[in-house]
Structure 1
Amino acid sequence: MTVSATPMNLTRAAHVGISVSDLDASIAFYTALTGREPVAEGTMSSVPFGKAQGLSAAKLRYATINLDGLGIDLIQLQEPVGERTNGKANRPGSMHLCFRVDDFDAVYQRMGEAGYDFLGDDYTFIAGEVTPDEALGTRVAYFNDPDGTNLEIIQPKGGFAS
Structure 2
Amino acid sequence: MTNVRAHHFGVTVTDLERAIEFYRDVLGLAVLDRFTVAGEAFSAAVDVEGATGRFAHLDAGGARIELVEYDPEGDERPAASVNRPGAKHLGLEVGDLDAFYDGLPGDVETMSEPRTTESGTRILFLRDPEENLVEVIES
Aligned-residue offset at 1:90: 2.4
Are 2:63 and 1:70 aligned?
Answer: yes
In structure 2, stretches of 5+ residues that fail to align are none
Residue identity in the other structure for 1:49: F
Alignment correspondent of 2:26: 33
User: Under a length normalisation based on structure 2, what TM-score does the superposition of the two structures give?
Assistant: 0.87
Query: In the alignment, is the contact (CA less than 8 A) between 1:14 and 1:69 conserved in 2?
Result: no
Distance 1:8 1:33, change over 3 A: farther
Residue 150 (structure 1) aligned with residue 133 (structure 2) = yes
Alignment partner of 1:124 is 2:113: no
Give the one of 79, 99, 113 matched to 1:106: 99
Q: Which has the larger radius of gyration?
A: 1
- State the SS of the aligned residue for 2:31: coil
Could you give the per-residue CA deviations for residues 58-93 of structure 1, whole angstroms, max 9, x where no partner exists? 2121111112111111100012x1123322212222
How far did 1:122 drift?
A: 2.6
Other structure's SS at 1:39 match: strand
What's the secondary structure of 2:125's corresponding residue?
A: strand
Quote the Cα distance in structure 1 between the aligned partners of 2:75 and 2:83. Answer: 19
Q: CA RMSD in A?
A: 1.9
1:51 maps to which residue? 44
For these two proteins, the number of residue pairs brought into alignment is 137
Instruction: State the partner residue of 1:19.
Output: 12
Q: Give yes or no for the alignment of 1:42 onto 2:25.
A: no
Unpaired runs of 5+ residues, structure 1, are 1-6, 127-135, 157-162
Give the C-alpha shift of residue 21 in structure 1: 0.4
Identical counterparts, % of pairs: 31
How far off its partner does 1:35 sit?
2.2
Q: Is the 8 A contact 2:9 2:64 kept in 1?
A: yes
Structure-2 separation of matches of 1:69 and 1:100? 11
Conserved 8 A contact 2:125-2:134: yes
After TM superposition, the score normalised by the length of structure 1 is 0.75
